[in-house]
Amino acid sequence: MRISALKRNLGFICLVAVCFAAAGCEKKAAPPPAGAGMQGMPVQTATVTLSPVPQSSEYVATIKSRRSATLQPQVDGRLTEIRVHSGDHVKAGQELMDIDPLHQQATVDAARATERQKKALYDYNTLEIDRQRKLFEAGIISKDVYEQAQQAYDNTKADYQSTAALTKTADEQLAYYIIRAPYDGVVGDIPVHVGDYVSSSTMLTTVDENKDLEAYVYVPTERANQVRMGLAVELLDTNDKLLEKSNIDFVSPQVDSALQGILVKAPVHATPEILRNAQLVKARVIWSTTPMAVVPVLAVSRQGGQSFVFVARQQNGRWSAQQTAVTLGDTVGNDYSVTAGLSPGDKVVVSSTQFLVNGMPVMPLPGA
């Protein structure tokens, strides 16, 4: 029994010793440093500045050549040959199509035969009037006989000249059965085929001179007081890639009744590989240029239809990201113009914006 009691006392002493040791360790633990808190996230920032921002409107423009001809026949007939294809480059006077000329050729042959007949009679009366004049001067025939011969000569001369003129006209019309290019250019669509019967109302094809192009833009009448000569125009493709910069050089004095717009034109000097006749492009008409705050596109986020940015603001020596709603204007290169919400000098966060929340500590990187 004495041994059991000794064991119990020894266990109690060990337990008390462990408790004192633990208490001593707790007293030696270092307290947390004063002011310890959340570490700021390193971010890149961009300082808001004022940049010239164009105030513009976009419209659909049609590219047109100043020289574009629609070819229609001047005679009726059946097409016998088409010598070109759509897209071919042709020279002025080059043969494009042939219309069957047999009927007109027969008319010309008949006219020439009649002309030869009239010429023979005219030649005979030319000799005859010479003989009659000599006989009259010799007193062999009377004046009445001589005047009758003169009248016959005049009639045959007029008849021959009239026939010759008709023959020339019929012969010239043969040229209309060959369709030729009016000038150097590019052949457009050819909707007809060999064997088709064509008339003066049939569209055969077009020939476009793919230079001296113009952009046709219809500006709404509400902008009538702003339209003027010299306004800058930017031509863009469907991906908003800039194709050419130009200026308005024509303003129509009247309103198009169908479109209720004012036609303006701007010259185009782009190569055929960039712009072609009848091509549709975007036309950005720049009304004025105004200094506005701009921010990089990467800085802008959207949530619930609202655009906002994070602005790095310093308070009590610490930086934090403040979510700020902004109203965006037009894009300027890789930047957005901002019409409301920012001021020049604000530091806009441009990196790691997807990880930020309002009021989160941040650390602007040096040199940003």
Mean pLDDT by 10 residues, the chain (368 residues): 44 45 44 50 86 86 89 95 93 95 93 94 93 90 91 94 94 94 91 95 90 91 91 91 92 90 92 82 91 85 86 87 86 81 86 85 75
- Give how far the C-alpha of residue 239 lies from the chain's centroid of Cα atoms, to the nearest Å: 12
Q: Are residues 144 and 159 in the same domain?
A: yes
End residue of a domain, out of 290, 305, 336: 290
For residues 343 and 324, state if they share a domain: yes
* Confidence (pLDDT) at 367: 52
Task: CATH number of the domain at 124, please.
Answer: 1.10.287
Q: Is residue 98 part of a domain?
A: yes
> Is 286:230 a contact under the CB 8 Å cutoff?
no
CATH number where 314 lies: 2.40.420.20
> What is the per-residue pLDDT for 48?
86
Do residues 317 and 268 share a domain? no
Cα separation values, 295 from 105, 192, 331, 340, Å: 77, 57, 10, 12
Number of domains present in the structure of the chain: 3
DSSP classification of residue 298: G
Same domain, 159 and 224: no
Q: How far apart are the first and last CA of the chain?
A: 83
Picking from 241, 260, 290, the residue at the C-terminal end of a domain is: 290
pLDDT at 87: 87
The single-letter DSSP state of residue 195 is: T
pLDDT, residue 129, reads 92
Helix (H, G, I), strand (E, B) or coil at 72: coil
In a domain, 139, yes or no: yes
E strand or H helix at 220: strand 213-220
Q: What pTM, to 2 d.p., does this model score?
A: 0.56
Position 305 scores a pLDDT of 81
Contact, 234 vs 217, CB < 8 A? no
Q: Is residue 221 part of a domain?
A: yes
Do residue 223 and residue 260 come from a single domain? yes
Q: Helix, strand, coil shares of the chain as percentages rounded to 5?
A: 30, 40, 30
pLDDT given at position 148: 92
Please answer whether residues 247 and 241 qualify as being in contact, where contact means their C-beta atoms are separated by less than 8 angstroms. no
Residue 3 within a domain: no
Residue 248 lies in a domain: yes
* Owning domain of residue 248: 58-67+209-290
Domain harbouring 216, CATH code = 2.40.30.170
Domain boundary among 259, 290, 321: 290
Q: Rounded to whole angstroms, how far apart are CA atoms 314 and 320?
A: 7
Does residue 273 fall inside a structural domain? yes
Report angle CA 306, 311, 313 to the nearest 5 degrees: 145
Q: Is residue 233, in this structure, part of any structural domain at all?
A: yes
Biggest CA pair distance of the chain:
199
Residue 22 is assigned to a structural domain of this protein: no
Do residues 277 and 210 make contact, with C-beta atoms less than 8 angstroms apart? yes
Beta bridge partners, 280, equal 62
